[in-house]
Structure 1
Amino acid sequence: MIACAMNGIAVYEPPSSAASWRIALPHTVAAVPVARALVRSAMEETDHPADTDTAELLTAELVANAVEHTAGKGPIELVVELLPGGCKVEVHDPDPAPPGHLTRPVIEEPDPMQEGGRGLLLIRALSSSCGHRPTESGKAVWFRLPVVPRQWRPA
């Protein structure tokens, strides 16, 4: 990421190259903080201009869903791609069934007295796009976040 001054105005130039990480995580709740830390570290090290807090939150939701809603002891896989236009995060799990209501609107509101039921809603609401696709060993659930202009990011 480069900031240039043109006529006294700072102009944002997105990073010109992509970076990616792929890591196997245990099929346990211990995977959630590891995934969050990996996303945060990757974005901070590359000074990536997508919203790090949102990427970390949505990654935690995807990993928690993969751990909670898929059977098996095999690892799940986290794939993080930092691209010039934003970031994409995928979580691969062994269950081929599509995730709940990720890509279709839900008519009913989550029960305010229930602890769960908001993860997919958060992913739909906070990402620029999201979805799922079949893989050879199950499925990948993903979200994308756009680049946030520097003047809109917290200092």
Structure 2
Amino acid sequence: MPENDAWDYTLYIPNDLRAVTVCRRTLRLILTLHGLIGIVDTAELLATELVSNAVRHTKGPAALRVRRTPEGTVWIGAWDTDPAPPDPPRPLEQVAELEDGRGLGLVKACAEYWGWQPTARFGDRGKYVWCELGAA
């Protein structure tokens, strides 16, 4: 299989905190099978934060999307049914000891890029919050 082979996976999940573990383990399997073990730990952390926010802060279903571009960038995104923008990330030094409120701060600190966009995919209005990792 070519090293820079592009691919795209989407995992649709219910609004259930147990789905975060399913997403994390599925992401690990996808990246490992595609030979990207070097980014698995960081990708799991980022996906966990994105999917946790999607499940905790909305009432509808959610989705995890992971794809690799032909250039080798790995893109991780979480879709949810709330079209409102996420709260801005807080600096990690302000939330280091807290249980909540550090998700997007971790994403901002660990990803090369991150952002969000409103979307009407999957038949519902909502948003994607995404981040990018170099697949080095």
2:101 aligned residue (93, 110, 117): 117
* 1:135 corresponds to 2:119: yes
Partner Cα distance (1:97, 1:31) in 2: 22
Runs of 5+ unmatched residues, structure 1 = 3-14, 149-155
1:80 aligned residue (54, 66, 90): 66
Amino acid at match of 2:109: A
1:92 aligned residue (61, 67, 79): 79
Give the paired residue count.
131
Tell me the TM-score normalised to structure 2 length.
Answer: 0.86
The structure with more radius of gyration: 1
Question: Aligned pair in 2 of structure 1 residues 141, 50: CA closer, same or farther (>3 Å)?
Answer: farther
- Whether the aligned pair in 1 keeps the contact of 2:6 and 2:72 (CA below 8 Å) is no
Amino acid at match of 2:119: T
SS across alignment from 1:27: coil
Partner of 1:8: none
* Identity across the alignment (%): 37
Partner of 1:17: 5
- Whether the aligned pair in 2 keeps the contact of 1:97 and 1:139 (CA below 8 Å) is yes
Deviation of 1:48 (Å): 2.4
SS across alignment from 1:96: coil
- Whether the aligned pair in 2 keeps the contact of 1:50 and 1:86 (CA below 8 Å) is no
Partner of 1:37: 25
Partner Cα distance (2:135, 2:95) in 1: 30
Q: CA RMSD in A?
A: 2.1
Tell me the TM-score normalised to structure 1 length.
Answer: 0.76
SS across alignment from 1:24: strand
Partner Cα distance (2:44, 2:93) in 1: 27
Partner Cα distance (2:85, 2:47) in 1: 17
